[in-house]
Structure 1
Amino acid sequence: MLTISDLFRLDDTIAASLFAGKTYPWEVLEGLSAYILQLGATLSPEEFDHPAEDVWIAKDAKVFPSAYLGGPCIIDHGAEIRHGAFIRGSAIVGKKAVVGNSVELKNVVLFDGVQVPHYNYVGDSVLGSHAHMGAGSITSNVKSDKTLVVIRAGEERIPTGRKKVGAMLGDYVEVGCNSVLNPGTVIGPHSHIYPISSVRGTIPPHHIYKNEREIIAKR
């Protein structure tokens, strides 16, 4: 349940080729900036504006004047970048995705239909199709002791080799308001996280996370 094929439907992102030849989703973080520059150069000028050297915005996307878009980044068709959003760079925002008020993105892939609409920080993370982060929920991407992030799944430990790894959210994940997803958190598709949770490790698909001792299968 940790692999790319377990978590995502790759038809739901402009960046499907980024995942080719890789097993785990955090493997795409290392080369994301270079990939965006390569992909951006292939985008049709009839469909995408190119207002800055490393920025591509679909002509039917809505970007509020107060939003900051740092390159390299791609904003796909129908996406909405709202007031005060801060895209620091190395970001792909999928079709009809929403990046909202005071949201900060850095080194991320948001699949189509993702919503991060209110006061979210999403860094070094991959969010699957139609994943939703409630107001104030964040991905923590650096451990307090600054050691390399290791993915935990039961007794299994998978080294990432990276100091910065946020969260990997499968398709249709719902994260409750004011939750913290600790470094290296992986949440399976269609799972829900209760508000005000501190989540670490791996949550299976189709489960509800109430707290670390109460993770129940959906009925």
Structure 2
Amino acid sequence: MNNDALKISNLYDLNETIAAKVFEGCTYPWEVLAKIGDFIVELGNTLPEDEYEKRGENIWVHRTANVFPSAYIAGPAIIGKDAEVRHCAFIRGKAIVGEGAVVGNSTELKNVILFNKVQVPHYNYVGDSILGFKAHMGAGSITSNVKSDKKLITIKGPDCNIDTGIKKIGAFLGDNVEVGCGSVLNPGTIVGRESNIYPLSSVRGFIPAGSIYKKQGEVVTKR
């Protein structure tokens, strides 16, 4: 048995992130989480000063990015070209916001990679997660990154389960995933490319690429 559908190569187009190198040597996306903070510092110190402004300790903001005055950004963080960080966004550190991405009103980020064109625009919490190219989380949808019993997280794959040895894992959304408003992505959720999650869903485990998640046990293939 194998879990090829969970692999980085089947979830993400690495041409659509400034963070492509952090994925090197990793097979599954949760293996990247522990590397994000150090990678940002390493990458940030190589970014051209004519393109990126350094704001505070280990915070690099592209000069074309629109960061609202009321937004809070803690380092290490990189805000990419043409990104928008809106009113009262709360970036707690270890965050890469991709080119053209939107971080919205009262959205909180922590230890994340947002690929280019990702939108988390309204009241979202995204922690210990990776969101692929053009992934979109509807208003009020969140990633839950710690189990209620505080045990280490097991990824429930399509073929077999994988013990990660990690306590905090949010969700991994493949490219072009749409998450409906008010949904909760439970710890270790993986959603394959081009899939849609119905609003007000509680999602756990693996959702195959090209699917529509209606509710637990009712996942259909897009036509």
TM-score calculated relative to the size of structure 2: 0.97
* Alignment length (residue pairs): 219
In structure 2, what residue type is equivalent to 1:193? I
In structure 2, what residue type is equivalent to 1:69? I
Structure 1 CA distance, aligned partners of 2:133 and 2:121? 15
Moved more, 36-45 or 148-157: 148-157
Structure 1 position 31, deviation (Å):
1.4
Q: Which residue of 2 aligns with 1:109?
A: 113
Secondary structure at 1:30's aligned position in 2?
helix
Q: Which residue of 1 aligns with 2:25?
A: 21
Q: 2:142 aligns with which of 130, 138, 142?
A: 138
1:161 equivalenced with 2:156 (yes/no): no
Q: 1:9 aligns with which of 10, 13, 31?
A: 13
Structure 1 position 155, deviation (Å):
4.8
Structure 1 position 51, deviation (Å):
1.3
In structure 2, what residue type is equivalent to 1:59? R
Structure 2 CA distance, aligned partners of 1:143 and 1:90? 21
Structure 1 position 154, deviation (Å):
3.5
Over 6 Å off, 4+ runs = none
Q: Which residue of 1 aligns with 2:62?
A: 58
Structure 1 CA distance, aligned partners of 2:198 and 2:177? 11
1:199 equivalenced with 2:207 (yes/no): no
Residue pairs, 1:83-122, within 5 angstroms: 83-122=87-126
Structure 1 position 73, deviation (Å):
0.2
Secondary structure at 1:163's aligned position in 2?
coil
1:62-120 C-alpha deviation (Å, 9 max, x unpaired):
00000000000000100000000000000000000000000000000000000000000
Q: 1:73 aligns with which of 65, 77, 89?
A: 77
In structure 1, what residue type is equivalent to 2:28? Y
1:123-165 C-alpha deviation (Å, 9 max, x unpaired):
0000000000000000000000000011002451111111000
Structure 2 CA distance, aligned partners of 1:59 and 1:159? 42
What are structure 2's unaligned runs of at least 5 residues?
A: none
In structure 1, what residue type is equivalent to 2:215? N
